[in-house]
Amino acid sequence: MIHTHYRWVIVAAGGLLGCIAIGAMFSLPVFLLPISRDTGWSVTGVSTAMTIGFLAMAFASMAWGSLSDRWGPRPVVLTGSVLLAASLALASVTTSLFAFQLVFGLVAGGAIAAVFAPMMACVTGWFDTHRSLAVSLVSAGMGMAPMTMSPFAAWLVSLYDWRTSLQIIALVVAVVMIPASLLVRRAPALEAGGEGLAEEPQAGMTVREMLKSPQFVILCLTNFFCCATHSGPIFHTVSYAITCGIPMIAAVSIYSIEGLAGMGGRVAFGILGDRFGAKHILVLGLLAQAFGALAYVFTGGLASFYVVAGLFGFIYAGVMPLYAVIARENFPLRMMGTVIGGTAMAGSLGMALGPVAGGLIYDTFASYTWLYVGSWGIGIGAFLIAMTFKPAPKGREALAAA
């Protein structure tokens, strides 16, 4: 009975940790123009810090995930929380663009990777029923970042300079994330020595075999193109709105609408995934996401931004938790941190494209149009790749096939 109740504590802790961690990283879009104006650094240069952050998240995700498989999620998440607070504090006092990119990008990005994959893997192990919903609720917590941390960052930078604002966010990270990480516990099945896991999908699989499996390769490719589709629109929405004549606070409110819609999308897609299958809902969501990105081309006023951001946020946020669910349905629990870390690595590489690509496009054309057209094309690619996914055989089916 304690497991039944405590699994929802894990969900709540994961949502809170994700909200603060992702929110800290995505304070950069809010600070983008203030940093550029204060320091003289180019928009592309500051945006590159975000790209480096996603690259760091990518290459650290599988490592942190593997460590969580070995040691359990709590020490990994705790370490990431401490590193994130320290990196944000250090980034606030940097005096060169290179140092800012290194500290905010490399260190902070690597620290956030210690939260995402281990927590997603942890939650999948706590749930046999309502798994899509549980993972989606953790992801919904992460989706709270645009509704909470982004307006908070905008409010701070309206009162203080960006350096002081970033220091306050570092303090929030330390005060909230470190205690929350202590609530995290390993899944009961793993604590019990793995009893009852023999019937899992591909139960006897090694890590090397997992890395070569078609299910893992297709999941990674799909996640890469999926994240490449929405990373540019997410990062540059505030700046795009400002270039359309919308004031800063109103522009950030567009970001918040996107986040609010994303919360609904995560829950809705989670329920639909439990009912109709995560793979089917993912495929349909990817197709809708592509056209949601393209819709930004036709925005201009605040009302149209609200409509498109709401639609786009609902869709892209809804599809993201489904990767962890599909991973759990196709791979054994004992390597779930490594699997989700690997798919998160692919997704983070995709996310790394948007900030710098959007910055280069804007610096070159003084317009964001080609960013959204390109995102549409990449989104269609994600949809086509996902269509090729075939589930892995489970338990005795796999033995029979062998």
Domain-located, residue 191: no
pTM, full prediction:
0.73
User: 214-243 and 369-386 are packed helices; what angle lies between their axes, rounded to 10 degrees?
Assistant: 160
With respect to residue 401, please indicate whether it lies within any of the assigned structural domains.
Answer: no
Return the structure tokens found at 250: 């109103």
Residue 402 included in any domain: no
Q: How many domains does the chain have?
A: 1
Residue 311 Cα to chain centre, angstroms: 18
The answer to whether residue 193 sits within a structural domain is no
CB–CB of 42/358 below 8 Å?
A: no
Residue 87 lies in a domain: yes
Q: Give me the residue label for tokens 């023999």.
A: 198
349 neighbors 56 (Cβ within 8 angstroms): no
Structure confidence at residue 203 (pLDDT): 60
In a domain, 110, yes or no: yes
pLDDT at 193: 53
> What confidence score (pLDDT) does residue 396 get?
44
> Is the separation of the CB atoms in 313 and 257 below 8 Å?
yes
Question: Which tokens sit at 271?
Answer: 């329920």
**HEC readout, the chain:** CHHHHHHHHHHHHHHHHHHHHHHHHCCHHHHHHHHHHHHCCCHHHHHHHHHHHHHHHHHHHHHHHHHHHHHCHHHHHHHHHHHHHHHHHHHCCCCCHHHHHHHHHHHHHHHHHHHHHHHHHHHHHHCCCCHHHHHHHHHHHHHCHHHHHHHHHHHHHHHCCHHHHHHHHHHHHHHHHHHHHCCCCCCHHHHCCCCCCCCCECCCCCHHHHHHCHHHHHHHHHHHHHHHHHHHHHHHHHHHHHHCCCCHHHHHHHHHHHHHHHHHHHHHHHHHHHHHCHHHHHHHHHHHHHHHHHHHHHCCCHHHHHHHHHHHHHHHHHHCCHHHHHHHHHCCHHHHHHHHHHHHHHHHHHHHHHHHHHHHHHHHHCCCHHHHHHHHHHHHHHHHHHCCCCCCCEHHHHHHHC
How far is Cα 251 from Cα 336, in angstroms, rounded to an integer? 38
Domain holding 245, by residue range, is 2-186+198-395
CATH number of the domain bearing residue 96:
1.20.1250.20
How far is C-alpha 31 from the chain's CA centre? 20
The tokens for 336 are 């779930």
201 bridge partner residues: 394
- Contact yes or no for 101/48 (Cβ under 8 A): yes
* Residue ranges, the chain, pLDDT below 70: 1-4, 146, 189-204, 393-402
Q: Is residue 223 part of a domain?
A: yes
Instruction: Look at residue 226 and tell me if it is in a domain.
Output: yes
Q: How many CB atoms lie within 10 A of CB 89?
A: 17
